[in-house]
Structure 1
Amino acid sequence: MRVEEALSLLKEKGYKYTDKRQVILSFFNQENRYLTAKDLLKHMEPNFEGISFDTIYRNLHLFDQLEILESTELNGEKHFRMRCDHHHHHHFICKNCGITKEIHQCPMDDIEDELKGFMIDDHKFEIYGMCPNCQEQAPMY
């Protein structure tokens, strides 16, 4: 989703356009990885002195609820990224840096036969590990 589309959706749903929301959306739009509220706070603090975690979390959860952002749990902490809406896919997620790689094969193609008679209304499939760059930087044991 692009920033302009996200801001239009916010307006359509009755939420205000703010500079902070534009900065949040632009930040996520330029990153190809999952980020935490702490990452966002660190990015915003230089331009929005005194911005609180409450403001960050409130906006992240609003964007997640409106399906502007998608979220996942990594290392016991919620991470967010801009939602990909151009086609059905899944992700490999680096547990170290949060970068993602699209996986175009869907395991549901094989699983649906095992679930005959069950109504499936959604699914999520993620693979976790370390990207090549993080593997190179990891100390050898």
Structure 2
Amino acid sequence: MVKTEKAYDQAIELLKNDNVRITKQRTRMLDYLFNKRDFYVPITEIDHQLRKEFNRMSYETVYRNVEMLEELHVVETRMFNNGMRAKYQCDFDNVDHSHFICENCGRVVELDKPDMGSVRDKLPGFEIDSQHYEVIGLCDACVKDVRE
């Protein structure tokens, strides 16, 4: 099985283990985010896509489901200048991760973890439980768009 399929199956299992009903709407939300797993997707875009299929679904329902998925570590959310965005967390074996985030389009590129030696040197006697390293800027496509 491909790693990404494994991650999707793990997300469904997390929902089942937490006694969350696997509804068509939730499955479609997961599918949508899974297919855009390299981007932070605006919540409004998720809402727009889901309401095409489920016209009675409210923005509040979409937002509540995103919050619930975040609590289960299935998605990550982040506030951008133009609003809240969500990203499928596709590596359940690597919760402590590092990445580049494009502040314009939301593209995410996974990075190797930085050397923590200098950080530990500055924190003698401290115990580090986790690390999260982000580099934020414009991706190559957005830089190109800005220059044209």
* TM-score over 0.5 for the pair: yes
Structure 2 unaligned spans of 5+: none
> Does residue 18 in structure 1 map to residue 38 in structure 2?
no
TM-score (normalised: structure 2): 0.85
Q: Determine the structure 2 residue equivalent to 1:53.
A: 59
Determine helix, strand or coil for the equivalent of 1:60: helix
> In structure 2, which of residues 99, 103, 119 is the aligned counterpart of residue 95 of structure 1?
103
Count of aligned positions:
140
Q: Which is worse superposed, 17-26 or 124-133?
A: 124-133
The alignment yields a C-alpha RMSD, in angstroms, of: 1.8
Distance 1:76 1:111, change over 3 A: farther
TM-score (normalised: structure 1): 0.88
CA distance in 1, matches of 2:67, 2:117: 31
Query: Cα distance, 1:98 vs. partner?
Result: 0.4
Deviation string 1:26-80 (CA, Å, 9 cap, x unpaired) is 1111111011210101111210103211111111011100011122232263321
Q: Which is worse superposed, 92-101 or 104-113?
A: 104-113
Q: Percent identity?
A: 26
Query: Cα distance, 1:6 vs. partner?
Result: 1.1
Q: Determine the structure 1 residue equivalent to 2:145.
A: 137
Determine helix, strand or coil for the equivalent of 1:45: helix
Contact 1:3–1:22 under 8 Å retained in 2: no
Query: Cα distance, 1:107 vs. partner?
Result: 4.8
Query: Cα distance, 1:113 vs. partner?
Result: 1.5
Query: Cα distance, 1:118 vs. partner?
Result: 1.7
Determine helix, strand or coil for the equivalent of 2:87: strand
Contact 1:33–1:100 under 8 Å retained in 2: yes
Structure 1 unaligned spans of 5+: none
